[in-house]
């Protein structure tokens, strides 16, 4: 029988005793409700082929197009490859919500571990719903009337001669195609109707209609608040673990404490808000 184990008061749950590649509609409905309730869910021992990974993701909604700069599985290009290899340590990690530099960010992601270090390489998620709920009512009301500018400028401080990998060059090319976008700082979740603080350290640049100094001061205050551990859940990966998170209400952070120990995960991203 399918079991759901809540991990923290605000975010995260393990889903057990289910084979997601072959689960019934009834079991999937429970998994989907756990995804909404807990914002990120973890399922161990999932032996997913690339085709099964895509079919499962389609049950959550419409698949995103091929990612503009991440490497992908050649036979299934909508599956991104997130990989560390010997001699190539991962880049600095920054708290982020996926694709907020686009007008329509993604709905959710399904990240499947192919092989992982025996020690290190964890991922941490933060509930931005819990962060918003914890703020003082006056600040909450202030934020409801604000919008912030998001942009893809992850390599803005890197010299051109330091950009050597193809995907890094594609990041720069993509950033030139996507001008900055504006998002409300408080979103209402389309399915749960809960309010969430919609900012992240990697892509949120400035609050509209505020001076740069005032904007940065408020953003820094909110980012620091979101880093409090009571709003977070941490996953130690195993081969075959699948993490599914609601990108509309979370940030995540990859812990890069494993140097160049090989690590490989497959990610599929979903855009449409309607599950199948």
- 39: in domain: yes
CATH (domain of 247): 3.60.130.10
Q: Is the pLDDT of residue 266 over 60?
A: yes
User: What value does the mean pLDDT take over residues 134-141?
Assistant: 98
- 275: in domain: no
Decide if 166 is catalytic: no
- CB contact at 8 A, 196 and 128: yes
Instruction: Give the pLDDT confidence of 44-92 residue by residue, as tens digits.
Output: 999 999 999 999 999 999 999 988 778 899 999 999 999 999 998 888 8
- 103: in domain: yes
- Give me the pLDDT at residue 273, please: 58
- Look up residue 254 and give its two tokens: 């990859």
- 276: in domain: no
Can you state the percent helix, strand and coil of the chain, rounding each to 5? 25, 30, 45
d(CA 147, CA 111): 30
> 3-state DSSP call for residue 99?
coil
- 113: in domain: yes
Q: Is the pLDDT of residue 275 over 60?
A: no
Report the 10 Å Cβ neighbour count for 184: 14
Partners of 269 in the β-ladder: 109
Query: What residue numbers bound the domain in which 16 lies?
Result: 3-270
Decide if 98 is catalytic: yes
Of 10, 67, 96, 263, which residue is the catalytic one?
96
Q: Is the pLDDT of residue 133 over 90?
A: yes
Of 98, 112, 183, 263, which residue is the catalytic one?
98
Q: Is the pLDDT of residue 33 over 80?
A: yes
Phi, psi of 162 (to 5 degrees): -85, -10
- 108: in domain: yes
> 3-state DSSP call for residue 222?
helix
Decide if 150 is catalytic: no
- 260: in domain: yes
d(CA 106, CA 252): 14
DSSP secondary-structure letter at 90? Answer: P
Of 52-61, 93-102, 157-166, the least confident: 157-166
- Give me the pLDDT at residue 174, please: 66
Domain count, the chain: 1
User: What value does the mean pLDDT take over residues 152-168?
Assistant: 57
Q: Which residues contact 156 (CB under 8 A, 6 or more apart)?
A: none
Of 183, 187, 252, 263, which residue is the catalytic one?
252
Q: Is the pLDDT of residue 176 over 80?
A: no
d(CA 173, CA 169): 6
- 234: in domain: yes
Residues of the chain with pLDDT > 70, as a percent, come to 89
Q: What is the pTM of this model?
A: 0.92
Decide if 86 is catalytic: no
Instruction: Give the pLDDT confidence of 241-258 residue by residue, as tens digits.
Output: 999 999 999 999 999 999
Q: Which residues of 119-132 are buried (b: 16+ CB within 10 A; e: fewer)?
A: eebbbbbbbbbbbb
Say which residue, 71 or 147, is predicted with more confidence: 147
Q: Which residues contact 274 (CB under 8 A, 6 or more apart)?
A: 61, 62
């Amino acid at each position: 029988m399918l079991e759901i184990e809540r991990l923290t008061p605000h975010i995260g749950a393990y889903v057990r005793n289910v084979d997601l590649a072959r689960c019934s509609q009834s079991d999937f409905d429970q998994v989907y409700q756990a995804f909404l309730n807990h914002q990120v869910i973890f399922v161990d021992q999932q032996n997913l082929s690339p085709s099964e990974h895509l079919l499962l993701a389609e049950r959550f909604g419409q698949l995103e197009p091929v990612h503009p700069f991440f490497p992908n599985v050649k036979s299934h290009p909508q599956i991104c490859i997130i990989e560390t290899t010997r001699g190539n340590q991962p880049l600095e990690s920054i708290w982020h919500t996926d694709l907020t530099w686009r007008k329509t960010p993604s709905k959710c992601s399904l990240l499947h571990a192919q092989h992982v270090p025996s020690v290190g390489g964890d991922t941490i998620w933060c509930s931005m719903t819990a962060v918003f709920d914890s703020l003082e009512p006056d600040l909450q009301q202030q934020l409801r009337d604000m919008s912030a500018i998001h942009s893809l400028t992850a390599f803005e401080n890197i010299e051109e001669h330091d950009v050597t990998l193809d995907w890094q060059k594609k990041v720069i090319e993509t950033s030139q195609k996507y001008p900055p976008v504006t998002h409300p700082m408080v979103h209402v979740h389309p399915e749960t109707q809960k309010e969430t603080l919609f900012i992240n350290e990697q892509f949120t640049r400035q609050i509209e209609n505020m001076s740069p100094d005032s904007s940065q001061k408020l953003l820094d205050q909110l980012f620091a608040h979101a880093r409090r551990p009571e709003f977070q859940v941490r996953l130690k990966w195993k081969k075959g673990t699948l993490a599914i998170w609601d990108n509309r209400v979370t940030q995540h952070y990859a812990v890069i404490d494993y140097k160049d120990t090989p690590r490989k995960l497959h990610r599929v991203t979903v855009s449409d808000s309607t599950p199948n």
